[in-house]
Amino acid sequence: MTILQAAVLGLVQGLAEFLPVSSSGHLLLSRMIMGISDEAAATGAYMMLDVLLHTGTLLAVIVVFWKDWWAILRNPFRSKTLLLLFIASLPALAVVVLFGDIVDQFFTGWFLGVSFLITALFLLVAEWVSDRQTKRADKPSFRHAVVMGLMQAVALLPGVSRSGSTLTGGLLSGLDRKAGAKFAFMMSAPAIVGSLLFEAKDAVEMGYLAELALIPTIVGMVVAAVSGYLAIRFMLKLINRVSLNWFALYVAILGLIVLVLQLLGVPGVPAFVMPAMG
Q: Give the amino acid at 214.
A: L
Assigned domain for 269 exists? no
Please report whether residue 223 resides in a domain: yes
Asked whether residue 270 is assigned to any structural domain, the reply reads no
Domain count along the chain: 1
| Listed range (35-44, 94-103, 169-178, 206-215) with the worst mean pLDDT | 35-44
SS3 assignment, position 271: coil
Question: Which pTM value belongs to this model?
Answer: 0.91
Q: How confident is the model over 110-166, as pLDDT tens digits?
A: 899 999 999 999 999 999 998 887 788 999 999 999 999 999 999 999 899 999 999
Q: Which domain holds residue 44?
A: 3-264
What pLDDT is attached to residue 115? Answer: 95
Average model confidence (pLDDT) across the chain: 90
The CA distance from 159 to 117, in Å, is 8
Asked if residue 189 belongs to a domain, the reply is: yes
Residue 275 domain-assigned?
A: no
What pLDDT is recorded for position 42?
A: 52
If we measure between CA atoms, which residue out of 40, 38, 39, 36 comes closest to residue 12?
A: 36
> Does residue 274 lie in a domain region?
no
The answer to whether position 278 is within a domain reads no
Higher pLDDT, 179 or 41: 179
Residue 42 lies in a domain: yes
Helices (H), 207-264: 208-211, 214-238, 244-264
